[in-house]
Chain A
């Protein structure tokens, strides 16, 4: 039987705002399947986002949804999780939202290891505003504000998350749709701050400026560059050149998550009365 996405979607909210060929819908379906796998109580689940195309995702899903200010999803979500630790808190957004204007909140959510899952749809561009370069646009690539080629070095989101203290970091792609729900489900189950980067495509504002002739070509590129972590172990540095590792990149289950740690603060404070 075909999977029933509709029971997780708010009635009357489709069609979504995303352009034909955009991978965000693939990610949303992956998230829905992950929530279904885990049998998440939707009344007790919050999806929090910032601003941008990817940040419109929460509006379609029938749970407690919070579409915040640009870059601030992690900070709003931290308030939700701190005040009600029993809630499942999932964040989503794009690369510009999460790593430029929201970079500070992102690294500190990682550092605190607060038990939330952050899905970053990385399409290397600010799509909603018409295709300006983001901190994830590869050097030399074209955007509406880098018509002569992007001079900026780009972030590796996964490395940034690991360096900042996230205890679960995974990467998938919009091409590998069947892997997305598994990565997200494992991330949600992880007790601590988990980051799932999904390499995505923006045919409208990134593809056409960077000589991709079609969405299929963009998807094929995701297919070609992705190398599962296990497979990469058997490959040489030369073979891995230009490739991107996918799968669970980092997992540390030894660290206590933030709200559990704060519960200890409450115990100590009560004892000190």
Chain B
């Protein structure tokens, strides 16, 4: 049987990807340019017995997401810059309580209201450092409608596997453009569910590290009674200020992502092997970059593309390796150098990083990138 093919928007694809991954709960608040995710969820989720709720604000939406996830539901919210700022309080809560959930954030200009209908890539640092305190961060940055669908599924899988919130952050171009999408058959893409406890209720501890860095998570209403708090906690879930426990728990929470980087990181290398100039790009910008690499190669410039699909954790080791062989990196991005800054931080000064930074609401076009390549001596 031929696969189902449609022509749709990135935002619509995100909602369908979530449902494929087993999402049964959506809580959100209207915000441009992500509202279509909520609209599709409001239509599709009740058809499968799922729940959609439009909350009173962004903070409440993030809170409802965590509450629903604690009952065992896979939960999604969608938002954009100003909403992401508001959600940070409870994103931190999900990090410390280790409750899986997926935040789909469409990047528009900022800070503040900025340019609500313009594309941007300026929320990537907010994905890592937006909420206060040390915490794990996983952020995926799809570049097409098909990839948005697939990365939303992967986001749910990583969230369930590592008991931590995961962000998917397309820029507004990816979120709103329409492309062909081929839907996978049920079972074609792996769907991961959180590990349920194997011990009886009276022995259950929600942060029992004897099961590893990612302890099993019971659901409220499934026979297990347990406590969840945003305070630093012990293995049994109750608050503590004991120095050695707080230190160990904080380190474990970050470690469960850092030690599993290889499983979480995803990127694509295009003509990087013999490249003298490597463009590091993500989202819609990476599409211009790929075109630019093709144009440059035709002109005899040895260019390549390193396309980030996972932004956090950042592929530091691989980029350090590449930096030893190249003349320069080019970092085109719709912000004032966020990715360039992270890149510089991991390549030990082995190569210069030339930036093309746009925050005027216009996409970066291939010509700009080719011109920048020609500046490399």
Contact = CB atoms under 8 A, between A and B. Distances in A.
Interface in B37-70: 43, 46-47, 49, 51, 53, 55-57, 59-61, 63-70
A68 interface: yes
A92 to B, nearest CB: 14
B71 A87 contact: yes
Interface of B: 24-25, 27, 43, 46-47, 49, 51, 53, 55-57, 59-61, 63-73, 75, 89-90, 93, 201, 220-221, 223-231, 238-239
B64 A76 contact: yes
Interface of A: 10, 13, 42-44, 46, 48, 58-59, 62-69, 72, 74-84, 86-87, 104-105, 107-108, 262, 265-266, 268-270, 272-273
Contacts of B93: 68-69
Of all A-B residue pairs in the complex, the 5 with the closest CB atoms, nearest first, are A79-B67, A79-B64, A269-B46, A75-B63, A75-B60
Contacts of A75: 55-56, 59-61, 63-64, 67
A262 B24 CA distance: 14
B221 A64 contact: yes
A44 B228 CA distance: 15
Given A59-B227, A75-B64, A79-B70, 4 more contacts: A64-B226, A75-B59, A75-B61, A262-B51
A80 B70 contact: yes
In this complex, which of A68, A262, A272 has the most chain B Cβ atoms within 10 angstroms of its Cβ?
A68
A69 to B, nearest CB: 5
B238 A59 contact: yes
Contacts of B53: 78-79, 82, 262
Nearest to B238: A59
A84 B223 CA distance: 13
Contacts of B221: 43-44, 46, 64, 84, 86-87
A108 B63 CA distance: 14
16 contacts: A43-B225, A46-B220, A58-B227, A65-B225, A65-B226, A66-B227, A74-B60, A75-B59, A75-B63, A76-B64, A79-B67, A80-B70, A83-B51, A84-B221, A107-B56, A270-B49
Contacts of B68: 79-80, 82-83
Nearest to A108: B56
Contacts of A43: 201, 221, 223-225
Contact of A69 (B57, B63, B64, B239): B63
B220 A79 contact: no
Nearest to B73: A83
B230 A69 contact: yes
Nearest to B223: A43
B67 A76 contact: yes
Contacts of A48: 67
B3 to A, nearest CB: 21
B51 to A, nearest CB: 5
Contacts of B24: 83
A179 B63 CA distance: 33
B67 A67 contact: no
B55 A78 contact: yes
A72 B230 CA distance: 12
